[in-house]
Structure formats: structure tokens, C-alpha cells
Chain A
Amino acid sequence: MEWTINGQAVSASLDPRVSLLDLLRDHLGLTGTKKGCNQGACGACTVLVDGERINSCLALAVQYDGRAITTVEGLGSTDALHPLQQAFIEHDGFQCGYCTPGQLCSAIGMAGEIERGVPSAVTADLAAAAIVLNDDELRERMSGNLCRCGAYNGIVEAVRATLAPGKAA
């Protein structure tokens, strides 16, 4: 099996039971992606596959053979944060930080969905050509990422400041 993870080719021979999340954390040492509920309810394990956000805990690594995976380690580095990471600091988008890698990957996946015109449950007009990313849209679209510290207001501000239309990442 072979994946492109944060731009690097990676291969491994795995039991098919290994989830994409456990491949990242336990086999590759990429512990930025977090294991919260391990049942698809919290979003802490969110990563991007070919640019689309998924829950890596519900994904078998073998099912994503050949795909390009981006984790929080692929977004920025300690010396060069991604603009969204910098915005999370400036807007107090976290306290404990456990949900943050998932929030970051989820928000970047969300920006791609907005660009592609994917509607949400609160999109008033399904026929509209473009999505207006107001705070209702943002909160609905980020509802798959729980933050038990309750930093939601800061998260919304950070995402709005970075990814709202005209501020592409």
C-alpha cells in the first residue's frame, strides 16, 4: 500500500483493520491528527483526502491506498504557520487544543466546498450559483467538529477572518 502524505510518498504493509487515523499516528508518528471519540462523532481526526475532509477514524487505511492525504503537519510548520493557524492564535480559537488539528483541516476542506458551490442545510436558496459564507453557514458547516472547551466563537472568528470569500488560504 502506498499513500502520498503531506506531499511525501509513504508505503507500508498493514493489516486491513488499521484505520487511516492509526496509520498516521501509530505507524508514521504523525500525532498531530487526534483520536477523540474514534466513532465519527467528534471530528478531532479530520484530515483531507485529495482536498476533501473526512473522519480518518472511520476510514480503513487500505481503502485510501493511492490517495493524497493532508494532515495538520502538512498545513504549516512551527516557523511558518498556515494563515489559519495564526488566526486561531489571534482569535483565541482554542483552549486545550485537542480539537484544533481537526478544526483546521475541516475549515480548509470547507473552503473548498464553498468554492465548489456545495450547499449546506442552512443555504436558503439551493439554486443560487454561489454560497455566501455568513456565520450561520460557517457554524453549520463546521458542526462536525466539536470543541469541549467551547472555543466556538474564536473558531468562527478565525475561520471568517482567513477563509471568507476574497481571503482564500
Chain B
Amino acid sequence: MTPFSYARVTDNAEAIRLARVTPGARYLGGGTNLIDLMRETIEQPAALVDVTALSRTIEARADGSMLIGAAARNTAVAADRAVRERFPVLSRAILAGASAQIRNMATTAGNLMQRTRCYYFYDDAARCNKRDPGAGCDAIDGFNRIHAILGASPACIATHPSDMCVALAALDARVHAEGPNGARTLRLVDFHRLPGGRPDLETELAPGELITAIEIPPLPFAGNSMYRKVRDRASYAFALVSVAAALDVGPDGTIRDVRIALGGVAHKPWRAFAAEAALRGLPATEASFRAAAEAELKDAAGLRHNAFKIELAKRVITATLAGISGDARA
């Protein structure tokens, strides 16, 4: 690790002020990703502003929404009774990720800020446009089994590693941020960027801007939601493909509303807007689900080792929705 200074803060304004006046400062959450990247010298912040003492409140509001403090630990969010009841897909997604030890450390905001697990990003002997803009990408012609099939660019085929963010994308969560220029709210689906020509820019956060909370708007039918994750081993592995979904089926068996997001397939949590649009008003049948999955993956592009993910994603979408609709009718 390169040397850095360290400061722990207890309020948002102090965190933002310190980050503004300290050159090369980064916010530090649980450290489960940043400390590892610093040890590999991929990240070399000159200063760490520890924000784990900021709000970890998990507030269940009367209107059905929830507000989760940026420093709330992953375990606390997954175990929260209101989250389990209102947004089970969020509990399920968090519990599908990492290990219990890491979930005890990891914060809500830090989960959003995770960087990719692309091997070439971690390997400083490899070319990587995300680590070293303009260097090239060794993943495109390399071992790209874990890489993106949607929204990738000639510069970068990395995927976003989070499970939690896939559920948050499906739930249309809002990211509350504060910075030197004030406070604002972004939709989670707009928070992470596609790689384009600048894969080193991963989120819409401005320099020094701090995530303060995640808000989940009311979604009554999210009580009927599910997270399904396909990976190379049964536990403690990143997703090859994952699906977060919630479904609202009317008494006549017609889909009134639906939310779908995919993980493991793109540079950001991938909200399946095309599949959602295709499904509204259709009967909740496996044929409808499969057709919607086909629509979502229409522009998917496979490389040498990851083309299997296209059919896998279609099947996981179909199976997940079929699973929920079965529950809905039961």
C-alpha cells in the first residue's frame, strides 16, 4: 500500500469538508473492496475519510418506503424486519452475496461503489482501460467467461459485481448524495455508467460527493419478489447471471406490473425495461416470460467464453418469473 492519512468523521458535512480540503481523499466504508485494491496498489488514495460512523439508521416509513443510512451494514439491512417484509428481494440479494464476515463489515453505500472483479483489472501486468485509460483491454480476447453481454464497449467488457444493487435497480431505489454543491437525489438505475470510451468513470458521483442514504419508494407488490443467482459454486461466489424480480398479477391472471433487473451481465446493474414493457398486460405464463426475456436479450453480444450467458439469462428470467407467479396464484 502507498502511504495515506486517515480520519474518522461523525457527520456528513465534516466528511464532505475533509474530502474537499484533502488532496487525493477517498471515502472509506467497510473497506472490503477498497483495502484490497489499495493492497494491490490499483487504488492509491493519499487520504481516507472513514464514513462508517455516519447514519446507519434503517427507517421504515408509513407510506411503505424505506430510508437506509449509507453506513448501515449489509447484514443489518438483510436482517431488518421491514426490509424482509416489504422488499424480500433486497434481503435475498444481499444474503446471496459475499460471506457473513464480509456482510458484517460492508456498508450500503460501499456496496454501490464496488469495483469490478474482472481479472485483468486486478492484474497490473495486463492491459486495462479502466485501470489505465487508453492502455487497451486484455479481457476482450482473453478469458472472458465472467464478462458482460449487454451494454459493453470496445474499451471495456467488465461487469458490476454487486448483488444488492440488482435488487435496488428492480425496486427503483434512489441514491441520496451530498457534495460541495449541495444535496441531490439520483435514480439507482442512472447512478452507475456504461463503459463507453471512459470505463474508468463508473458512477455519476462528482468528485467529493458523498452517498448519504438509499431510499426505496413504496412498491406494494414487492412483497412478492425473488432474487435468483447462478454462479460457479453454491455459495460465496460472484454471479454469472442473477435476476431480481417482482410481479403483480391480477385475479384474471394478467400481469399488471413487473420489475426485473439483471446482475453479472453488464457494467452496471441492468434494469430490464424492455422485458417489463413487453410483459405488462400479458397473461402470466411461461410463454410470456420467455418472450420478454428474448426481447431483453435481443441486443446481447457474446464473446468467446461468455456467450452461454445469453441463453442462461433468458432461462433465469423465465424461471424466476414463473417461480413468483406460481407463488402469486398459490
Question: A interface vs B, CB < 8 Å?
Answer: 15-17, 19, 38-40, 43, 46, 52-55, 58-60, 62-63, 65, 106, 109-110, 113, 116-121, 123, 126-127, 139-141, 143-145
Judge if B206 is at the interface, Cβ distance under 8 Å: no
10 chain-A/chain-B pairs, Cβ below 8 angstroms: A19-B35, A106-B100, A116-B79, A117-B79, A118-B79, A126-B92, A139-B235, A140-B235, A143-B235, A144-B100
In the complex, which residues of chain A have a beta carbon less than 8 angstroms from the beta carbon of B3?
A: 15, 17
Q: Would you call A121 and B235 a contact (CB within 8 A)?
A: yes
Expressed in whole angstroms, the Cα–Cα distance for A29 and B12 within the complex equals 38
In the complex, which residues of chain A have a beta carbon less than 8 angstroms from the beta carbon of B5?
A: 16
Report, nearest first, the 6 A-B pairs whose CB atoms are least far apart.
A144-B99, A143-B235, A16-B6, A121-B95, A126-B84, A118-B79
Q: How many A-B residue pairs have CB under 8 A?
A: 101
Expressed in whole angstroms, the Cα–Cα distance for A19 and B91 within the complex equals 30
Q: Give B47 Cβ to nearest chain A Cβ, in Å.
A: 10
Expressed in whole angstroms, the Cα–Cα distance for A147 and B236 within the complex equals 14
Expressed in whole angstroms, the Cα–Cα distance for A52 and B74 within the complex equals 13
Among B101-109, B168-176, B183-191, B252-260, the stretch in contact with A: B101-109
**Residue of chain B at shortest CB distance from A144:** B99
Q: Which of B32, B39, B52, B88 contacts A126 (CB 8 A)?
A: B88
Given A38-B39, A119-B78, A140-B235: A53 touches B101 (CB 8 Å cut-off): yes
Q: Would you call A55 and B4 a contact (CB within 8 A)?
A: no
Q: Which of B36, B92, B99 contacts A39 (CB 8 A)?
A: B36
**Residue of chain B at shortest CB distance from A146:** B236
Judge if B312 is at the interface, Cβ distance under 8 Å: no
**Residue of chain B at shortest CB distance from A118:** B79
Given A116-B79, A117-B79: A63 touches B39 (CB 8 Å cut-off): no
Given A40-B36, A121-B96, A144-B236: A60 touches B104 (CB 8 Å cut-off): no
Q: Give A165 Cβ to nearest chain B Cβ, in Å.
A: 18
Q: Would you call A118 and B78 a contact (CB within 8 A)?
A: yes
Judge if B31 is at the interface, Cβ distance under 8 Å: yes
Given contacts A40-B36, A58-B105, 17 further A-B contacts (CB under 8 A): A15-B3, A39-B36, A43-B99, A53-B100, A53-B104, A54-B104, A59-B31, A60-B6, A60-B28, A60-B31, A106-B100, A109-B104, A113-B100, A119-B84, A121-B92, A127-B85, A144-B101
Expressed in whole angstroms, the Cα–Cα distance for A58 and B114 within the complex equals 14
Given A119-B79, A121-B92: A16 touches B48 (CB 8 Å cut-off): yes
Given A118-B75, A127-B84, A127-B85: A52 touches B104 (CB 8 Å cut-off): yes
Size of B's binding interface in residues, CB under 8 A: 36
Q: Would you call A109 and B102 a contact (CB within 8 A)?
A: no
In the complex, which residues of chain A have a beta carbon less than 8 angstroms from the beta carbon of B105?
A: 54-55, 58-59
Judge if B301 is at the interface, Cβ distance under 8 Å: no
Given A39-B36, A109-B100, A119-B79: A16 touches B4 (CB 8 Å cut-off): yes
* B284-329 at interface with A (beta carbon < 8 Å): none
Q: Would you call A17 and B79 a contact (CB within 8 A)?
A: no
Judge if B1 is at the interface, Cβ distance under 8 Å: yes
Judge if B200 is at the interface, Cβ distance under 8 Å: no
Expressed in whole angstroms, the Cα–Cα distance for A54 and B35 within the complex equals 14
In the complex, which residues of chain A have a beta carbon less than 8 angstroms from the beta carbon of B50?
A: 63
Given A46-B101, A53-B104: A17 touches B4 (CB 8 Å cut-off): yes
Contact with A along B83-126 (1 / 0, CB 8 A): 01100100110011011111011000000000000000000000
Q: Give A51 Cβ to nearest chain B Cβ, in Å.
A: 10
In the complex, which residues of chain A have a beta carbon less than 8 angstroms from the beta carbon of B39?
A: 38-39
Q: Give A124 Cβ to nearest chain B Cβ, in Å.
A: 11
* B1-43 at interface with A (beta carbon < 8 Å): 1, 3-6, 8, 28, 30-32, 35-36, 39
Expressed in whole angstroms, the Cα–Cα distance for A113 and B101 within the complex equals 11
**Residue of chain A at shortest CB distance from B227:** A121
Expressed in whole angstroms, the Cα–Cα distance for A8 and B135 within the complex equals 51
